[in-house]
Amino acid sequence: AQKITQTQPGMFVQEKEAVTLDCTYDTSDPSYGLFWYKQPSSGEMIFLIYQGSYDQQNATEGRYSLNFQKARKSANLVISASQLGDSAMYFCAMRKRSGNTDKLIFGTGTRLQVFP
């Protein structure tokens, strides 16, 4: 069965430092996509970054980069130069296709707190 595992319930980081949020996944599908979402206390899921299973290079979006290690089935999110506004829940998700439909399978999330 497809599964996402986030083993860090909470992380602390000082402003301007980098932080890595861990994500491992389990799938037998040869083609899949991995996502990271940020969820502030307001509730909205904000898309951060996407990595396709066949992408040769690690994805980057501004201060966000995804450390994709396919053999280890890990897709860690790296946030560089943390800001106070980065404090939120972060979810790793995998897209599971079923015929012409799909759904996202989420991990349990990591709460990141950035302190001055």
Partner 1 sequence: DAGVTQSPTHLIKTRGQQVTLRCSPKSGHDTVSWYQQALGQGPQFIFQYYEEEERQRGNFPDRFSGHQFPNYSSELNVNALLLGDSALYLCASRFGANTEAFFGQGTRLTVV
User: Smallest distance, Å, CB 86 to partner 1?
Assistant: 18
| Of the candidate residues 75, 109, 112, 114, the single one contacting partner 1 (CB under 8 A) | 109
User: Smallest distance, Å, CB 115 to partner 1?
Assistant: 22
11 binds partner 1 (CB under 8 A): no
User: Smallest distance, Å, CB 59 to partner 1?
Assistant: 12
64 binds partner 1 (CB under 8 A): no
What's the CA gap between 79 and 71, in Å, rounded?
Answer: 22
Interface segment toward partner 1; rule CB under 8 A; list 11-19, 59-67, 70-78, 94-102: 94-102
4 binds partner 1 (CB under 8 A): yes
Helix%, strand%, coil% for the chain, nearest 5: 5, 55, 40
- DSSP of 77-115: EEE-S--GGG-EEEEEEEEEEETTEEEEEE---EEEEEE
Instruction: Specify the residue for token string 């972060």.
Output: 90
What's the CA gap between 50 and 65, in Å, rounded?
Answer: 9
37 binds partner 1 (CB under 8 A): yes
Query: Which residues have C-beta within 8 Å of that of residue 62, sequence separation ≥ 6?
Result: none
**Residues found near partner 1 in the complex (CB under 8 A):** 4, 33, 35, 37, 42-47, 50, 91, 93, 98, 100-109
